[in-house]
Each structure stands twice: as structure tokens, then as C-alpha cells.
Amino acid sequence: MPVGLKELPVLHSVPGVRLGTAAAGIRKQDRRDLVVIECAPGTKTAAVFTKNRFCAAPVIVAREHLAKGAPGALLINTGFANAGTGAPGLEDARACCAALAQRLGCARHEILPFSTGVIGERLPVERVIAGFPACLANLSELGWADAAAGIMTTDTVPKGASRQFTFGGKTVTVTGIAKGAGMIRPDMATMLAFVATDAAVAQSALQAALVAAVNISFNRITVDGDTSTNDACVLLASGRAENPEILIPQGTGYEALAHAVAEVCTELAQAIVRDAEGATKFITIEVNGGASVADCLEVAYTIAHSPLVKTAFFASDPNWGRILAAIGRAPISNLDVNAVTVHLDDVCVVRRGALDPGYAEARGRAAMAKPEITMRVDLGAGAARARVWTSDLSHEYVRINAEYRS
């Protein structure tokens, strides 16, 4: 069961953005697996993509198409990632774009493709195209919840978030959906995330808001340390709110928009960790007292990626020696081990590099037994700080990934 996740919150519609979902039988029958997100004319688009050098064909094509202008629609399929498929994979992605463009009456480059699922297998183009009529028939500004379900793979629940704020006397909406549960250690965004707003905003300000949000949300989570070949995060802005246009990445309007986008992205990112494959714990790792934010992040991720630490969390075992070992091998240039302090929630386990004299094992076990835990590490080297969210490593994670292609 996901840790602390409830039903989808209310997802406010975004005027100018319609979503349609269908069960196209792309890999499995009788499940929603195809989504079209239609953008009104004039919609601006910001995007960030994976830095994995084996990036998927749809990532390559989406980048190419974005360079030619704003999209008219986004096309998302689950089941097959269309990654590691070489030139034929590019042909498949482009064929799907061309077929959807023909139905929508736009140019092929106005379609942005996104795929998620099994790596290394060809996309069943005929099945994807056959699902278009149902997707287009279902297009609706109210289609967010269905789309959140339609982009899932090993996710156990759909993930969505929504915020509204007022600027210039107009209500502005930001709504987003995401998918991801494994192969999560983003290096730009998560596996797939789609966020939209009706704000009137210039392209440069929109891109700045997305990058800032991604850097404190999707780029601060990890489940297993694996960056996907298909990671993409898109932010659409239809401009239908009719607010005073936000022209530059500063000022009251920009700050309000950036804050709302960051909140939506953070809620989605945390939902991915809460629904991580086989997760029983949602863990916040806060590293304070660093010489730089980069040092703090290196320490946080070294702890979060340690299989020994993650399995200790699964067992509710306050094995503080594993934590110290992870801190000690973090790739930072200077570390005074005698200055390090570690807390599990409010329980001080390590002080000045050794077991705290007041520590009691029972208190440590009680802290580790909670479904949500905060580990605080103080490096005693400066004023920098950083936060990362992660999960434990369970038997179920191994089972899910061992059986993923079966």
C-alpha cells in the first residue's frame, strides 16, 4: 500500500487544456494506457527531459518537435517505453505523431510523444493509432483523473495535484499529474509528469518556473538510484486566465505562479516516493551544516541509495553504523567525522561522530517503526542544507522488478 497516500485530490480543470484517455490494449487488455492532451491555440510550453544518454525515441522526437514551435497536443502511451529501439523506434514515434496530427488537423511537429513501460521492445504502432478515436471522443477539460490513471505502469494509485491563486483580480489554476514508482532517480524530472496552467505568461518565465520547481521537487527524490530513459516533465500555459501577462521571471505574479508550480511538483514528487515499488516507509533525509548545497546533496543521496540503509529502514532497525558508513563514503572533499550528528526524528543517535551517550535502542526502534521518518544529519561544516525524499527497500520491490516483463 502507498505510504500516506489517499484518494486523488480535487483536480481543477485548466481552461484551454483537454485530456482524453482510452484503453487501447497496447500491452495489456482492459486497462487505460493511452492519453491525448490537447492544447488550445497559443498555448506556451516548457519542458525538461532525461539526461540519460540512452534516451528513448519519444524524448528525441519531442525535443525535435519543440524546437520547431509550440505543440497542439501531447501523446502519451504506457506499456512500451520505445527506448533502446534505434532508428525503427524513431520511425514508430514519428508515425504515431503523424497519425494523430492528421486527425487533429495540425502538423506532425505539433505533436509531442511520450512513452513509458518496457525498454527494448518496439511500440505497437497499429494499436496506438487504433486508440485515437476513443481518446479524442473523450477529450474534456475534466479529464485529469482519468489521464492520471492512464499513464500508470507499476504505480498502484494515480497521482495528481492542483493549486489556485489570484493575480490581477483573476483566478489562476495549476494542475498536474505524474507517474512513477520504480526506476526513480530523476536527473531533470520524474518518469513522466504533465502540468498545466491557464496563466498568461511569457515563454522565458514559464521555463524558469518549471526548472526552479523541478530542482526542488523531482530532482530531490530517489527510489532506487536509476534515472529512466524516458523522463520528461512538461508545463503548459494556455493563457486563458486573462491575468496581466507575466513577462519576466520576477515580480509578484511570477513568484505566485512559481510557488504554485513548485507546490504541485513537490506534491507529485512525494507521491511517487510514497507509491514506490514495495515501499513501506516514506523517508525524509535532511542534511544541514554543509559547506555547500552540493555537499549536502551528495551526503543525502549516498544515504538514500545505500541498500544497507534502505533495508534497515524496512526492518525498522536503527542500524546507525550503516548510516555513518554511508556518510563517510559520500563524495565530498572535506568531512570532519567528529562534527557529525545524526537524528532519527527527535531521537539523537550519533553526536560528534559517535553513539550519543543518552541514546536508547528502544527509542531508535520506535522512531524507525513509523511509516514516515525524518533523518537529520548535521555535518558541522557550514550553513548549507538540502533535503531528499526516499523509500525503504523491501522484498516486494525485488519481486516486482524480477517479474516486471512477465
Residue ranges of the chain assigned to CATH 3.10.20.340: 282-402
Cα–Cα distances in angstroms (integers) from residue 104 to residues 74, 99, 395, in the given order: 12, 9, 46
User: What is the arithmetic mean of pLDDT over 77-87?
Assistant: 96
Cα–Cα distances in angstroms (integers) from residue 307 to residues 18, 20, 223, 345, in the given order: 42, 40, 11, 21
- Give the per-residue pLDDT at 190: 63
Of residues 6 and 129, which shows the higher confidence score? 129
**Residue whose C-alpha is closest to residue 324's, from 345, 305, 303, 298:** 303
Q: What is the pLDDT of residues 268-293, one digit of tens each?
A: 999 999 999 989 999 999 999 999 99
- Give the per-residue pLDDT at 406: 64
Q: CA torsion, points 334, 340, 346, 347, in degrees to nearest 10? A: 140
Tell me whether residue 66 is exposed, middle or buried, using C-beta atoms within 10 angstroms of its C-beta: 0 to 12, 13 to 18, 19 or more: middle
Q: How confident is residue 186, by pLDDT bands cut at 50, 70 and 90?
A: confident
Between CA 208 and CA 199 the distance in angstroms is: 14
Residue 190 is among the residues annotated as catalytic for this protein: yes
User: What is the arithmetic mean of pLDDT over 342-358?
Assistant: 97
- Give the per-residue pLDDT at 184: 86
User: What is the arithmetic mean of pLDDT over 196-223?
Assistant: 97
* pLDDT value at 326 more than 90: yes
Residues 32 and 22 sit within 8 Å (Cβ to Cβ):
yes
* pLDDT value at 141 more than 70: yes
Q: What percent of the chain has pLDDT over 90?
A: 91
**44 among the known binding-site residues?**
no
User: What is the arithmetic mean of pLDDT over 19-26?
Assistant: 97
- Give the per-residue pLDDT at 114: 98
The conformation of residue 337, written as its DSSP 8-state character, comes to: G
**370 among the known binding-site residues?**
no
Please name the residue ranges forming H helices in 112-176: 125-130, 132-137, 144-150
* pLDDT value at 1 more than 90: no
Report residue 361 as a C-alpha cell: 535502542
- Out of 190, 197, 341, 390, the active site residue is 190
Tell me whether residue 312 is exposed, middle or buried, using C-beta atoms within 10 angstroms of its C-beta: 0 to 12, 13 to 18, 19 or more: buried
Whole-structure pTM value: 0.95
Q: How confident is residue 180, by pLDDT bands cut at 50, 70 and 90?
A: very high
Q: What is the pLDDT of residues 37-81, one digit of tens each?
A: 999 999 999 999 998 999 999 999 999 999 999 999 999 999 999
**Residue whose C-alpha is closest to residue 21's, from 144, 113, 187:** 144
Query: What single-letter amino acid sits at 193?
Result: A
Cα–Cα distances in angstroms (integers) from residue 117 to residues 88, 216, 310, in the given order: 17, 26, 25
**159 among the known binding-site residues?**
no
The residues near 91 (Cβ < 8 Å, ≥ 6 apart) are: none
**338 among the known binding-site residues?**
no
For the domain made up of 17-274, the CATH class stated in words is alpha beta
CATH number (3.90.600.10, 3.10.20.340, 3.20.20.70, 3.30.2010.10) of 282-402 reads 3.10.20.340
The residues near 316 (Cβ < 8 Å, ≥ 6 apart) are: 365, 368, 369
User: What is the arithmetic mean of pLDDT over 342-346?
Assistant: 98
Cα–Cα distances in angstroms (integers) from residue 7 to residues 4, 30, 167, 298, in the given order: 10, 22, 29, 34
Provide the 3-class DSSP secondary structure of residue 405. coil
The residues near 27 (Cβ < 8 Å, ≥ 6 apart) are: 33, 78, 79, 80, 117, 118, 124
Report residue 325 as a C-alpha cell: 558508513
**243 among the known binding-site residues?**
no
**281 among the known binding-site residues?**
no
User: What is the arithmetic mean of pLDDT over 230-254?
Assistant: 96
- Give the per-residue pLDDT at 128: 98
**Residue whose C-alpha is closest to residue 236's, from 253, 257, 250:** 257
Q: How distant is the alpha carbon of residue 164 from its chain centre?
A: 21
Residue ranges of the chain assigned to CATH 3.60.70.12: 17-274
